[in-house]
Amino acid sequence: MMITIITSILILSIIFIGLTKPKLLYYVMVFFAGWFSVFIDVGLMITAYRLVIIIFLLCLPIYFSLRKNAIKFPPSVRYLLIFVCYAITITIVSQFYAPESYIVGFARGEGRWIFQIAMLLIDVTPVFLPLLFFKKIEDVKTTAKVFVTSVIILCVLGWVQSLAFYLYGVALFPVFREGLTGAVTQVMDVNMFGVTFFRMHSLGGEPKDFAVTVAVAIVLLIMSKITDSKGFRFGNLLMGFFLISLFMSLATSGFFVLLMGLAFIVILPFFVKDLRPRFAFKSIAVIAVTTIIFFGIIIISGILPLDLIKELSLERTITRSPIELFDAAVISFLSKHPQYGLFGVGMGNIHLYAWDNLIQYASENPLAAWVFERSHDFVIVPNSGYLRIISELGIMGLILFLYAYLTPVRFNFKCRQYISDNNVKAIVLCLNLFSIFILVTFLMRYFQINYAYITLGLIYFLNRKIMPNFQPNIRR
């Protein structure tokens, strides 16, 4: 009874904030974007981030009724709306020929497509929120600071989690999934070469989810430096702290995203003017020194054997196959039935088609065998963003999404040369470069869709903010 009362008060308080201070609620949403372990399961995973968006959607009708001025949207928003309408149409039409679902329960089974449409509408909502509530370009910088603050707290909780495991054997924040067969928890410790090592993940989901979020924060810090955005104090200390936390996750996905981000940053000065390349190399030097010191200490002290370091840095990052298990099953299906590659099979339906292609991996992959044990309530989806869009919405869907994402970025790049305010110019440049990096990260890992839509919303806001000054000079 008491929990119900407290929860009701909390939800009502958040709704009150949404009605009176919607910008603050937006920052709360950004704060929880990487907290994948804070969720409820209703057949689909509703994270704290998505829950805040749902509250936004409940508050918006009242907000619109009280608003006196019309909302101005940049013209490029129409391309995103076209993509959303296309995705909904394809998903509805696909239900007429989709195979019968093998999943137990309405939300995961025959009604999954309805929930997928709802989730799409929830996920794209952050794109429009800055257009509703932001007034100053400095609000973009505040959004970045909120995200970095969130990652700091995630990492602090991760260190508390790790110390509790090593000192007391207590597994705080275990990875938790609620399926139709009951609760499933997993302690993220690994035993390799006779050494037990805890994989830090905090409340950021699985270690790979947490690691990618931390890697994105590191890249954002570096980009703010090379564009002179002046967004963060103690940037080098934060980078070192984030980097060590990333190493503690033992998640090669995070390592790969960070390496990709660093490579992107290194080549940027050759293509983009107004950057400060010396800060890029200084940041990379900080990362290199931190890496050497960290691994030097743990190797010399004998905390981790050299064979384990080699396994993580080479076999799991460089030499292993870049195709994940579920991606491989989907690619196998599309190679056998290429006709589905043009328009896809509808959102949430690919598991109905690709399931049989997973059988070939069951004998050699423990994950595939575990999936088959839970075949009545487990839905496989591609891990890669590009493959999920192609499999569900086809190549046409991917083209529409990329066009909707890149069109406002292109406009901001074109108008940047006409901006006289150096601070605004730096923010526009930093966000443009970061948006491209986030796009690539999303195409690699679908769960980064949170950051993709948040960033796109900020890009649209800059479109509208700077467009009146340059509209006669620039074709959109």
How many residues comprise the chain?
476
Taking CA atoms, 238 is separated from 40, 259, 326, in Å, by 31, 18, 35
Task: Tokens 């919303």: give the residue.
Answer: 457
Task: Tokens 């595939």: give the residue.
Answer: 368
The sign one gets for the Cα dihedral 115, 116, 122, 128 is negative
Q: What is the pLDDT along the chain (476 residues), one digit of tens a residue?
A: 454 565 566 667 777 776 778 888 899 999 999 888 887 766 567 888 888 898 888 887 777 776 666 677 788 889 999 999 999 999 998 888 767 666 656 666 677 788 889 889 999 999 999 988 888 888 998 999 999 999 999 999 999 988 888 787 777 777 655 443 334 445 445 544 455 677 888 888 888 889 999 999 999 998 888 887 766 777 788 888 999 999 888 788 888 888 888 888 888 877 777 777 777 788 888 888 888 887 777 777 666 666 666 665 554 554 444 456 677 778 888 888 888 888 888 888 787 777 766 666 555 555 555 555 555 556 777 888 888 899 899 999 999 999 999 999 988 888 777 777 777 888 888 888 899 999 988 888 776 788 999 999 999 998 887 765 554 444 44
**Cα–Cα distance, 162 to 155 (Å, whole number):** 10
Q: Provide CB contacts within 8 A for 152, sequence distance 6+.
A: 238, 241
Rg (CA), the chain: 23
On the CB side of 153, CA atoms within 13 Å amount to 11
What would the DSSP string read from start to end of 418-472?
G---HHHHHHHHHHHHHHHHHHHHHHH-GGGHHHHHHHHHHHHHHHHHHHHHHTT
End-to-end alpha carbon distance in the chain: 56
Query: ∠ at Cα 48 (42, 53), nearest 5°?
Result: 90
Closest CA to 193 of 303, 305, 275: 305
Closest CA to 452 of 212, 280, 177, 263: 212
3-state secondary structure of 98: coil
Q: Where are the beta strands (DSSP E) in 112-217?
A: 175-179, 182-186, 189-192, 195-198
Q: Which residues pair with 177 in a beta bridge?
A: 184
Tell me how far apart the 2 most distant CA atoms of the chain are, in Å.
68
What would the DSSP string read from start to end of 274-288?
S--HHHHHHHHHHHH
Token readout for 475 is 């074709």
Whole-prediction pTM? 0.85
